[in-house]
Amino acid sequence: MVSIHSHLGRTGVAPVSKIISRLNGIKSQRQARCLSCGWARRSLWILPFLAVSISRAADYDAQFNQWFAVQTNLQSWAGDFTQTRTLTVLNQPLVTRGQVWVKPGEFRWELGQPAQTIVLRRPDQLLIIYPRLKRAEKYPLDAVPTGPMRDALALLDASLPRDRATMEKNFRLLSATETNSILQMTLQPRSDAARKFIGEVVVGFHTNDFTIAATEMKFADGSRLRNDFTNVVLNQPIEPKMFEADLPPDYSVVEPLKK
Amino acid sequence: MSSFLKRWWWALLIVMTGIGLVRLRFDVDILDLLPPDEPTVQGLKLYQQHFTNARELIVTLRAPDSETAERLAGELADRLRQQTNLVEEVTWQPPWMERPDQLGELLGWLWFNQSPGDFAALTNRLAPGQLKPTLDETRELLATSMSPMDLARRSFDPFNLLTMPALANISGISMDQGNQMFASADGKFRVLYVQSAVDLTSYRACASWLEKIHAVIAELQSGAIVHFTGRPVFVEEIATSMQRDMSHSVGATAIIIALLFWLTHRRWLPMLWLLALLMLILIATLALGGLVLGTVSVVALGFAAVLLGLAVDYAVVHYQEALAYPQMTVPEIRRAIAPSILWAAITTISAFLVLNLGGLPGLGQLGSLVAIGIALSALVMVMIYLPPLFPDRRQPCPNQTPFRWWNYFVAPQEVPVTGMVSAEKSSHRAVFLLTGLIFFSAGAVLCFQRPGLDRSGNALQPAHGEAQQTLDEMTAELGLPPQPLWLIISGRDESEVYRRLTNAEILLNSAVTNQLIGHYLLPDTLWPRAEYQAANRATAAGLGKKGPPLRDALSSAGFNTNAFVLTAELVRTWSRAGESKSVMWPTNQVSQWLLKRFVARTPDECLVMGLIYPATNKVDAAELTALSRQLAQNHALLSGWELLGNATLKRVQSRMWEVVTPMVALVLLSLWFAFRRATEILLGVAVLCLSGVCLLATMVLAGWTWNLMNLMAVPLMLGTGVDYTLFIQLALRRHGGDLVAVRCSVGRALLLCGGTAVAGFGSLVFSSNLGMASLGKVCAVGIGANMLISVFLLPAWWRLFSPKSKVQSPKSEDAGAKDGEKSTRAKLPPFYRAGLWRLGLVAAKMIPAGLLKTIAAALADFYWIIQRQRCEVVVQNFLPVFAGDRTAAEKAARAAHRNFAAKLVDLWCVEGGETGCNWLTNSGELEIIHAARRRGRGTLFITLHLGNWEHGGLLLNQLGIRLTILTQAEPDDGLTDLRKAARARYGVDTLIIGDDGFAFVEVIKQLQAGADLAVSLDRPPERGGVPVEFFGQPFAASLAAAELARASGCALVGVTIVRRPDGYAVKVLPEFTYDRKALGNREARRELTQQILRAFEPEIRKDIDQWYQFTPIWVGQASRLSQK
């Protein structure tokens, strides 16, 4: 479990965190006496800021935990989203609306109205359907070879983290900022191979009701993909058939991982 | 000329050595060891020549984590790139990662290679009216696709130009598959490809360049583990191994030789002189090898240690003989021992030269070098080794007959075995028990298992050094498939290559269907289609002008300039394609880096390489042979190290008969010429067989297998192992079967010789080439077994099977022999055997007489050349007739041999049933016979070994006279019976007179009854001879005729029958008259005998070349001959 304190150092309270970590890292009592003597005389004025920072960090951590607690206890959630894709080759970002339904271990992601891309996540597989092209791509999640594809799929999964353990397993928390009652966590994939693909993931949630507010992926080539969620409804029953793919017979189904 | 050579031979040798050393070159390419006409070898050579970059070093780097590995690889690449005098280029990641824009040229070129229909369709796709819909579709895909590949691709390929048939198979130009060539899946292992800026044409250049590169890399001090592989490393490793092998093996063998010599003799000077001569021989051999061969394969340099081990034998045997016989001069020792050394050298030389027939040029070179060295060694050791060590014995004895050159090839006449030392029976028993134990133990092992045959190419490969280990590690870490087979297709131009590619594909598809192969990769998509390019030029020119409208369309659709980079490069490529006049190839760095992996172009030809993956992990080379042949007919060479082993092994196996058969024949021939006795020949063969069985059993127990290199050990062991049997059995003869004397003299020498030979071959075990190491092991064990069996077991076998000794005949007073002088008889020629006589009878029936006589005359000439010692007996017999004129005597003796051969043919014809002869008779002389017979007191016909005396019986039979021949038994009892039966068929009886004195009683009775008998008088009897004068020389004549005349009163008639061109001339001498009563006196009998022999002298002089005296007839002649 990563201590949030060390990461806060990057967000602008570096001197304070360095002092804290230095104090925490002291092993020699003599060092501690000298340090405490010296800093006590010269740094008393820092103490108020220190108190504020510590308490702010503690608030974020608590909010994280509460958000994750909400995630853990969620049976389902659904909502609308606006997806913005900022690509290095385009002058303006591409904006598409969609809908999402999420259950533990499953989600349905419809992009476009009418849906041009449908992503169905099951415990054992990921299915991407392109209705206009009458094409479906199947990715068995238990047979993905190690490598960037596996990491990318894990990230896709983790971009909607359900619990802190899963999140921390796949990501390193870089920073957390709160703006307009939305707490945004900036995460960095732990996997080196995945980092070549996705540089950062940002997850934002409402601090009042702990519903998901936004997710954003920043890719290694500079492009970004952001989802802003609205009309999020929690724990409403969702029909099981929403997560099933009933593909018409004229659809071509491919398994890109099979070569 | 000969005197010039005798004086200046050493200068000539020095000049030749110098030229040879200048010409000498070393070849480290292992493929040059192999038969150059083998398609698999040709394919591998093409692969090495064109598809392995001789200037490319592969550096592998392993770090604790992938980030560190990537960072260090990048730093290392930068550092190496700065060394512009050493490095031309470093590639450490897919080149399109660093220069993605350069992919455009390759893609544009792929479009240019498409069928005109497909390429033209592109024009439609890029028509102005189609651009906006295409770009709208791209925007929609970019907005909604969940595929990272699609997003990445369409971002930079908004016009979807990457969608073409060619890219269906090479869609792997992606990050994943490109990275696979440079990094392991976990990223901790990375590979850098370093291109040298200097030519690395020699191993010295490789070593020097690598040293500098190592220094640059060492400066990095990264803490990462760095290894090296690639062609420069292999070349440097092989060359270093070669030098190490040579120095270590030669050094080790020389030390062992010195040690063994010291332990045996404890003398410094001979040992140091020996080592000095050996080193000179090595250098001279290498030089002469350079003169003859020019370039010597690195594998052939294994000759040095082998040569040392064999060459020392000749010096040791010579030296041992000199120590054993201190009274003999050096020339005499040379004369005594040279035949065995020279014949042993001939068999060894032949054995090694036979390697040239084995199908492996590298081994053939090794054989040639050893053969040259052995020849040099034999000459040097025979002529040069002893004189400096025994200066007081250098000069020959004053009365020594000068030796001719052939004397050194013919073993001196051996004194027959006399007075054999009776060794204890218990030691013989122990030897035979040991023999049985060895044979049955080895046999038992072989009953359960026999050495296998390794069909792989492992024997050709060097022992795994760093380069190979690094290559194996790289293959494993990068997840590359195991070693595929290579298919190399060549052609004059691109069109021809493409046709052959297409044909090859048909065959390969069929092979996949039949599960002969797993799958294959042929870069037909990436091969230029000349006809398509020609047809597409106009279209390309049109597309090449599409740059501005495409850019405008992109801008209108909301794309920025980043989206146009790839498209712009494609358009530029099409513009260039439209202007091209001939087949176009991509030229930028990325394209070249990719294409050179499987494409090669020279001014004269184009080559392309495909990969074929076997159906299973193990390549079944036999099944692939048929496919290989079909592909080869289509100028497509299927090759690979796995196939190489099997193909080469098949060739070696097919040629084994060509190699082993002449070796076996040579071994048997050399044994025959050395021993001329079937028993000893069979003993020699038995030694070889038992040592072979021991070798096979050792191979089974040690887990060794036969392979294409050590199969050549078979002829080597035959050729070198037979030497030990030669030396031991000849020594046993010389020492009269004295086992102790033999072991102390030759036995000790052979242990030393065998030990050095084993050391020489054994040192090859440490060779860096696995095949040479296995060859050394097998030869060492085989030769060692042969040597030990020859020294410790063979003598006892020889004692058991050799003929019993003949007791020497005592001196005779009547013969007037000197006291102590033993008159011994030389043996009759070996063809007096029933088997050979029967062969002659059959030949006489099947082959026309004239032809058979011609063949016989040629054999007689051959016999004259090779059996000079025996022929000298005849010369000595003739000398008194020619009053000492040796030239005339030799001439007559040689003619006598030819005539005797013809006489044998005549005899075979008669004994075979041809009784029609043209008798050239004188009626007056025949009347002498009739008159003598009319008296009825019996007639004793006296004849000599002159002409066709055997025909006398046939003549008398045709005259109505039944003759009985008095003769001694033939050397072979079977022959006696055979001839007796044959004579009986044409009416001649035979009475064998042996040591049985009562036989004469029967003779007297027959004469008294009026019988007609015949006897020869021109051979001295074994005992009871009387001294007469014959051709002015003392002669021990038989009193048989005079005794029979005294006892029976018979008529004595002398007859000769000699061959003439038109028949057989019969000469009847006047009847020898005598006073029967006076014959009671021994002197009178001697006088009568003298009279008879004197009467025959003119007849002998007339037809001296039909006087067949092959045993010494003069008094004292036999003992004089035995002393030579």
Does the structure show a pLDDT above 70 at B916? yes
* B147–A137 CB contact, under 8 Å: yes
Q: Is the separation of the CB atoms in B1056 and B1050 below 8 Å?
A: no
Tokens representing B656 are 């084994």
* A87–B147 CB contact, under 8 Å: no
Q: Is the separation of the CB atoms in B533 and B524 below 8 Å?
A: no
Q: Is B83 helix (H, G, I), strand (E, B) or coil?
A: coil
The predicted-structure confidence for B725-736, as pLDDT tens digits, reads as follows 888 888 887 777
Does the structure show a pLDDT above 80 at B552? yes
Q: Is the separation of the CB atoms in B1050 and B1044 below 8 Å?
A: yes
* Res. B823 pLDDT band, cuts 50 70 90: very low
Euclidean distance between CA atoms B234 and B203, whole angstroms: 9
In this predicted structure, what is the pLDDT of residue A9? 28
Angle at B216 between CA B215 and CA B217, to 5 degrees: 90
Q: Give the pLDDT mean for B635-651.
A: 77
Q: Beta strand pairing status for A212-219 and B1051-1060? A: unpaired
The predicted-structure confidence for B19-59, as pLDDT tens digits, reads as follows 887 777 777 666 676 777 777 778 877 877 777 777 889 99
B6 vs B423, more confident: B6
Q: Which of A82, A90, A259 to mutate to test the interface with B (most CBs of B within 10 A)?
A: A90
Q: Give the residue ranges of DSSP H helices in A74-163.
A: 148-158
Q: Which helix (H) or strand (E) holds B126?
A: none
Q: Give the pLDDT mean for A100-126.
A: 87
Does the structure show a pLDDT above 50 at A22? no
Nearest to B689 by CA among B448, B451, B435, B349: B435
Euclidean distance between CA atoms A203 and A215, whole angstroms: 5
The residue to which tokens 């009053």 are assigned:
B883
In this predicted structure, what is the pLDDT of residue B312? 85
In this predicted structure, what is the pLDDT of residue B66? 80
Euclidean distance between CA atoms A31 and B450, whole angstroms: 78
How many other C-beta atoms can be found within 10 angstroms of the C-beta atom of residue A129? Answer: 23
User: To 10 degrees, what angle do helices B794-801 and B678-702 make?
Assistant: 150
- As a whole-number percent, the residues of chain B with pLDDT over 90 amount to 26
B169 vs A192, more confident: A192
* Res. B1074 pLDDT band, cuts 50 70 90: very high
* A147–B185 CB contact, under 8 Å: yes
Does the structure show a pLDDT above 60 at B816? no
pTM: 0.59
Q: Which helix (H) or strand (E) holds B390?
A: none
Q: Give me the sheet containing B939-943, strands edge to edge.
A: B919-920, B1063-1068, B1051-1060, B939-943, B1012-1016, B963-967, B988-992
Euclidean distance between CA atoms B219 and B226, whole angstroms: 12
Lowest-pLDDT range of B452-466, B939-953, B964-978, B1018-1032: B452-466
Tokens representing B393 are 């014995």
In this predicted structure, what is the pLDDT of residue A162? 64
Length of chain B, please? 1124
Euclidean distance between CA atoms B1089 and B932, whole angstroms: 19
B65 touches chain A (CB under 8 A): yes
A116 touches chain B (CB under 8 A): yes
ipTM for the whole complex:
0.76
Interface of B with A in 152-211 (CB under 8 A): 152, 155-156, 158, 175-176, 185-187
Does the structure show a pLDDT above 60 at A4? no
Euclidean distance between CA atoms B1046 and B1079, whole angstroms: 6
How far does the CA of residue B52 sit from the closest CA of chain A (Å)? 28
Tokens representing A150 are 């596996």
| Most confident range, picked from B448-452, B642-646, B693-697 | B693-697
Euclidean distance between CA atoms B147 and A96, whole angstroms: 16
Q: Give me the sheet containing A117-121, strands edge to edge.
A: A171-179, A182-189, A198-206, A212-219, A224-234, A77-86, A94-103, A106-111, A117-121, A125-130, A135-140, A252-254
In this predicted structure, what is the pLDDT of residue B547? 93
The predicted-structure confidence for A120-176, as pLDDT tens digits, reads as follows 988 888 888 999 889 898 888 776 666 556 666 665 665 566 677 777 887 888 888
Does the structure show a pLDDT above 50 at A43? no
Euclidean distance between CA atoms B672 and B722, whole angstroms: 12
User: What is the phi/psi pair of residue B610, to 5°?
Assistant: -115, 170
* A117–B146 CB contact, under 8 Å: yes
The residue to which tokens 């024009």 are assigned:
B123
* A111–B147 CB contact, under 8 Å: no
Euclidean distance between CA atoms B993 and B1001, whole angstroms: 11
How far does the CA of residue A90 sit from the closest CA of chain B (Å)? 4
A207 touches chain B (CB under 8 A): no
Nearest to B344 by CA among B729, B739, B735: B729
Q: Which of A87, A135, A146, A156 to mutate to test the interface with B (most CBs of B within 10 A)?
A: A87
In this predicted structure, what is the pLDDT of residue B996? 56
A257 touches chain B (CB under 8 A): no
DSSP secondary-structure letter at B564?
G
Nearest to A192 by CA among B179, B146, B479: B179
Does the structure show a pLDDT above 70 at A52? no
The strand ranges marked E within B932-1090 are 939-943, 963-967, 988-992, 1012-1016, 1026-1030, 1033-1037, 1051-1060, 1063-1068
Q: Which residues of A touch B67 (CB under 8 A)?
A: 192
A131 touches chain B (CB under 8 A): no
B971 vs B466, more confident: B466
Q: Which chain A residue shows the shortest CA-CA distance from B154?
A: A89
Q: Is the separation of the CB atoms in B271 and B260 below 8 Å?
A: no
Burial profile A86-100: b = 16 or more Cβ within 10 angstroms, e = fewer: bbebbeebbebebbb
Tokens representing B1087 are 């006088």
Beta bridge partners of residue A139, listed in sequence order: A126
End-to-end CA distance of chain A: 38
DSSP secondary-structure letter at B200?
-
* B559–A94 CB contact, under 8 Å: no
